[in-house]
Chain A
Amino acid sequence: MAEELVKLTIEGVELSVPKGTTILEAAKQAGVLIPHYCYHPALPVAGVCRMCLVEVEKTPKLQIACATTVVEGQVVKVFSDQSVKARESVLEFLLINHPLDCPICDQAGECELQDYVFQEGRARTRYSEFPKRFNPVEDFGPDVLYVPNRCILCTRCVRFMEHAAEEEVLNVSERGDRAFIGIHPDKRLDHPWAGNVVDLCPVGSLLSKDFLHRARAWELDKTASVCTGCSQGCNTNLDTRNNMVVRIQPRANTDVNRYFICDHGRLSHRWMNRGDRIEAPLLSHGHELTAVDWDHALDRAAQIIKGCSGKGVALVSPGASLEALWLVRKLFTGLGLTGAFRVERVKGESPLPGVPGLALREERAPNATGARLLGYTETFDEALKTVEDASLVVVLDDALTGVSAETLARVPNLIYCGTVLPDAARGARVILPLANVAEEDGTFVNRDRRVQRYFQARATPGMARPAWWVLSELLQGLDRGESAGVAGDVFDVIAKTEPAFAGLSYGALGAKGAVLPDQATAGARA
Chain B
Amino acid sequence: MAAAESLGMAAAGGKTYSFKVVLLGEGCVGKTSLVLRYCENKFNDKHITTLQASFLTKKLNITGKRVNLAIWDTAGQERFHALGPIYYRDSNGAILVYDVTDEDSFQKVKNWVKELRKMLGNEICLCIVGNKIDLEKERHVSVEEAEGYAESVGAKHYHTSAKLNKGIEELFLDLCKRMMETAQAEERSRGNGASHTSTARRGVQIVDDEPQTAMPAGGCCTSG
Do A and B actually bind? no
Residues on B lying within 8 angstroms of A by beta carbon are none
Residues on A lying within 8 angstroms of B by beta carbon are none
